[in-house]
Amino acid sequence: MTLASEPDLRTLLTQERHRIHLVGVAGSGMSGIAALLLELGHEVSGSDKVGSIETERLVRLGLRFHLEHRAEDANDADLVIFSSAIRKENPILVSAQAAGKPLLRRAEALAAIMSGKRGIIIAGMHGKTTTSAMAAHVLREGGTHPSHYVGAEIPLLGSNAHWDLRGEYFVAEGDESDGTLRLFQPEHALILNIEEEHLDFYPDLAAIEAVFSQMMDQTTGSIFYCADDLHATRICGPRARSISFGFAPNADYRGTDIDLKDFASIFCVFRRGEKLGEAVLNVPGRHNVSNSLGVIAVATELGVPFEKIVTSLRRFEHARRRFEIKYESERFLLVDDYAHHPTEISATLTTAKSAGRNRVLTMFQPHRYSRTKALRREFGRAFDSADRVVVTDIYPASEAPLPGITGQTIADEITAHGHRGVSYQPRLDRLHCDLGNMIASGDLILSLGAGNIHEQLSILAADLVIAERLKAIVGEEGDVRLYEPLAKHTTLRVGGPAQFWVEPRSEAALADLIRYCRRENLPLFVIGRGSNLLVRDGGIRGVVVHPCGGEFDAVDVSGNEITAGVGAKLKQVAYAGKAASLGGLEWMEGIPGSVGGSLRMNAGAMGAQTFENVVRVRYLDGEGNAHTKTPAEMEINYRHVPSLDSNYAVSAVFRGTRSAPEEIARRLDESQEKRRTTQPSAKSAGCIFKNPKSGPAGKLVDELGLKNSRVGQARVSEVHGNFIINEGGATAAEVIELIEKIKESARTQRGVELETEVQIVGEEA
């Protein structure tokens, strides 16, 4: 069957009732068509490989939704409508074609539905969604009951599309990307701007202009165009019945005295030199003032009184993903925007800059290989207003990759243009970490792109909510950081990020943290100096607490006792002892860890171990309550103190014995000398394995001939077999693989089951 002629199609879609199937119904454009068809009384089914918020809403309105494309689900359809993202081989298309059913592209269906009303089409490269939503809203408030079709979810309008039986007008966003703009025969057209875009489809600007011109030839009423846009003015200006708007002195509807506030603008409106009055727009940016002048022009020409227009503009809210505020506090502002063309990016960044925060940090996901390639130079110049830019890889939409074109292409162009704050992060799922890691109080963080980058900003926003609560708990003196790389906090220098890095300065703050994490079900992990710790490359989820500074670092001597906070280094205890002529603690000189870490694992050296010197330990339990215990009241093993597994030590009292200063100095020298001569000085986590009953692990590794064996940048020390050293840039995965090799060798060759002394924590990358 051939396609029905246009009047037939209009009757079929707007006056009759049919069974209609939509292929690719979850997309923002297709779901709008489905909504219109349901409201027009059709029996509508649809298929897609994914569901969306829109499909959920449509199912409630009567859509039969299928989560795959199967020919039999569309067998009873009289008509099939398909998205341009659907391939020719799609089974529903193939079978509908074979059955001779009419097949319609999305834009054909929209044009036919729209022809059932007095159409107002909003077209242009940038700002269509916002402007068509604004036009539908203003006409609705003006009492004209317009129907609408907009390319995104519009909370203010209730849905992305609506057929209103009562009204005559139909406001639709016209898509220029695939030439289907020429299908429309509206009464009025509003042209926002025309420039080079979608060069995957059009050979050049002239081809783009030809499509706009044809659509305008088919427009029976007025052509509204932006007088500030060069190309729009050139092709629309000379037409009869054209009406201009913008800031240009000769614009028919002109905005002047524009006062751009953080998130609103106030401006004066003139019609052909006559002042209509003042308007307030509650969405930010000069470009939106221009868009609103277009809407004011249309609404005024359609007879909506200016006062009505002003009241409704004041109430207008943004479409989703159009400068959408995801999080706002005194310290941070997180904004998401759909901008993906260089012109849109500069406009959004200018708006962001004028929001009055300190810095603008941007994450950008390029959209389509073809656009990246065609506009690479323009992208290079688009980020001037951003203080930092992290570019991720390209969101392909339906495109196949182009050789040599990646997100790096754009990062390089921005750098070549002279920007100093650009980096490339190929992994989308790491973007929130990169940005979260660089934020400081006062920053505005912006996600830009038409793909799925907004999900990264949402993760950051959710984590920021928690980070701000944690900050309130630790107070001014404490510190909270997001996604702190743990490689910075381990002596082995490996490990991924801590979701929340928290440094409390007091026992009271630590107790509050424990209670908060328990209430919110957040895992809590305490880290000292990270000397016996191996953090996996995926980092640690939850709160990583590093008690340091303040009372945690205090070391006080009183009589024969030394009280030390868990943040102090164990060797400080040895030196405090020396200063007070207290001996027996010299072995501590050889331990690089903190008091907290040494307590937890009963660290030892020179044949001695921590708990031999401990008199009392003060700790907080899982509810944040403080206790003081003697070693006799605790369970203490070789390199493991089970009593501290689920409690959090805050300080300990050590006892020394009165000794001659020379004797203490001699023993400290001895310990130092032993360490210097038998242990490597390179980056390591101390001894990797506990000494098995059969003898020292280092000796065993040595005898197995595994010294100097390596995986990547991790190598067994040639000085001491129980040390693995990071030669620079080793990953946790490499270290763990090397550990497994050693264990395997000890098991098979000696029947010895080596057990790690280092604590291995965190998630795989």
Q: Residues with catalytic annotation? A: 128-129, 173
699 belongs to the binding site for ligand EPU (CB under 6 A) = yes
Candidates 396-404, 453-461, 629-637, 697-705; binding stretch for ligand EPU (CB under 6 A) = 697-705
Q: What are the residues whose beta carbons fall under 8 Å from the beta carbon of 237, sequence distance 6 or more?
A: 225, 227, 244
Q: Which positions from 645 to 674 touch ligand EPU by CB under 6 A, shown as an x/- string? A: -----------------------------x
Q: How far is the CB of 513 from ligand EPU (least distance, A)?
A: 28
Candidates 145-153, 198-206, 324-332, 601-609; binding stretch for ligand EPU (CB under 6 A) = 601-609
For ligand EPU, the closer CB: 290 or 532? 532
Taking the C-alpha atoms of residue 560 and residue 656, their distance in angstroms, rounded to an integer, is: 6
692 belongs to the binding site for ligand EPU (CB under 6 A) = no
Total count of residues recorded for the chain: 765
For ligand EPU, the closer CB: 343 or 684? 684
Q: How far is the CB of 538 from ligand EPU (least distance, A)?
A: 25
Candidates 127-135, 306-314, 464-472, 716-724; binding stretch for ligand EPU (CB under 6 A) = 716-724
590 belongs to the binding site for ligand EPU (CB under 6 A) = yes
Show the CA angle centred on residue 181, arms to residues 233 and 38, nearest 5°.
135
Residue 547's closest CA among 530, 526, 564?
Answer: 526
Taking the C-alpha atoms of residue 751 and residue 1, their distance in angstroms, rounded to an integer, is: 79
* DSSP state letters, 92-145: HHHHHHHTT--EEEHHHHHHHHHTTSEEEEEESSSSHHHHHHHHHHHHHHTT--
Candidates 513-521, 655-663, 685-693, 735-743; binding stretch for ligand EPU (CB under 6 A) = 685-693
For ligand EPU, the closer CB: 215 or 716? 716
For ligand EPU, the closer CB: 31 or 722? 722
Residue nearest to ligand EPU (CB): 686
Of 20, 494, 545, 687, the residue at the interface with ligand EPU (CB under 6 A) is 687
Contacts of ligand EPU in 528-567 (CB under 6 A): 532
Q: How far is the CB of 523 from ligand EPU (least distance, A)?
A: 26
544, 547, 548, 553 alpha-carbon torsion, rounded to 10°: -160
396 belongs to the binding site for ligand EPU (CB under 6 A) = no
How is residue 367 annotated by DSSP?
B
* DSSP state letters, 420-468: SSEEE---GGGHHHHHHHH--TT-EEEEE-SSSTHHHHHHHHHHHHHHH
Contacts of ligand EPU in 436-465 (CB under 6 A): none
720 belongs to the binding site for ligand EPU (CB under 6 A) = yes
690 belongs to the binding site for ligand EPU (CB under 6 A) = yes
CB 574 within 8 A of CB 670: no
> Can you tell me whether residue 170 is helix, strand or coil?
strand
Q: How far is the CB of 667 from ligand EPU (least distance, A)?
A: 12
Candidates 44-52, 378-386, 391-399, 682-690; binding stretch for ligand EPU (CB under 6 A) = 682-690
628: part of which helix (H) or strand (E)?
A: strand 626-629
Of 370, 722, 745, 756, the residue at the interface with ligand EPU (CB under 6 A) is 722
696 belongs to the binding site for ligand EPU (CB under 6 A) = yes
Of 358, 441, 637, 678, the residue at the interface with ligand EPU (CB under 6 A) is 678
CB 106 within 8 A of CB 29: yes
Taking the C-alpha atoms of residue 434 and residue 356, their distance in angstroms, rounded to an integer, is: 23
For ligand EPU, the closer CB: 66 or 674? 674
Q: How far is the CB of 707 from ligand EPU (least distance, A)?
A: 6
Task: List helix spans (H) across 168-246.
Answer: 205-217, 230-236
Do strands 479-485 and 497-503 pair parallel, antiparallel, or not at all (unpaired)?
antiparallel
Q: Which residue has the tokens 């398909």?
A: 82
For ligand EPU, the closer CB: 41 or 680? 680
721 belongs to the binding site for ligand EPU (CB under 6 A) = yes
141 belongs to the binding site for ligand EPU (CB under 6 A) = no
How is residue 29 annotated by DSSP?
H
For ligand EPU, the closer CB: 250 or 672? 672
667: part of which helix (H) or strand (E)?
A: helix 661-678
Q: What are the residues whose beta carbons fall under 8 Å from the beta carbon of 703, sequence distance 6 or more?
A: none
Q: How far is the CB of 752 from ligand EPU (least distance, A)?
A: 14
Taking the C-alpha atoms of residue 561 and residue 652, their distance in angstroms, rounded to an integer, is: 10
Paired strand residues for 655: 561
Q: How far is the CB of 700 from ligand EPU (least distance, A)?
A: 8
How many whole angstroms from its chain centre is CA 39? Answer: 36
Q: How far is the CB of 578 from ligand EPU (least distance, A)?
A: 18
For ligand EPU (CB under 6 A), the number of binding residues is: 20
For ligand EPU, the closer CB: 217 or 755? 755
Taking the C-alpha atoms of residue 303 and residue 284, their distance in angstroms, rounded to an integer, is: 27
For ligand EPU, the closer CB: 18 or 674? 674
680 belongs to the binding site for ligand EPU (CB under 6 A) = no
Q: What are the residues whose beta carbons fall under 8 Å from the beta carbon of 11, sequence distance 6 or more?
A: none
Q: How far is the CB of 437 from ligand EPU (least distance, A)?
A: 30
205 belongs to the binding site for ligand EPU (CB under 6 A) = no
698 belongs to the binding site for ligand EPU (CB under 6 A) = yes
Taking the C-alpha atoms of residue 635 and residue 617, their distance in angstroms, rounded to an integer, is: 12
Task: List helix spans (H) across 262-396.
Answer: 286-301, 306-315, 342-353, 369-374, 376-381
Show the CA angle centred on residue 114, arms to residues 128 and 192, nearest 5°.
20
For ligand EPU, the closer CB: 283 or 599? 599
- Per-residue tokens: 217: 């030839």
CA atoms within 13 A on the CB side of 244: 25
Of 605, 620, 664, 742, the residue at the interface with ligand EPU (CB under 6 A) is 605
Candidates 40-48, 522-530, 599-607, 627-635; binding stretch for ligand EPU (CB under 6 A) = 599-607
757 belongs to the binding site for ligand EPU (CB under 6 A) = yes
CB 319 within 8 A of CB 158: no
Q: How far is the CB of 379 from ligand EPU (least distance, A)?
A: 51
CB 231 within 8 A of CB 194: yes
686 belongs to the binding site for ligand EPU (CB under 6 A) = yes
691 belongs to the binding site for ligand EPU (CB under 6 A) = yes
606 belongs to the binding site for ligand EPU (CB under 6 A) = yes
Q: How far is the CB of 491 from ligand EPU (least distance, A)?
A: 10
Q: How far is the CB of 684 from ligand EPU (least distance, A)?
A: 9
Question: What is the contact surface with ligand EPU in residues (CB under 6 A)?
Answer: 532, 590, 603-606, 674, 678, 686-687, 690-691, 696, 698-699, 702, 720-722, 757
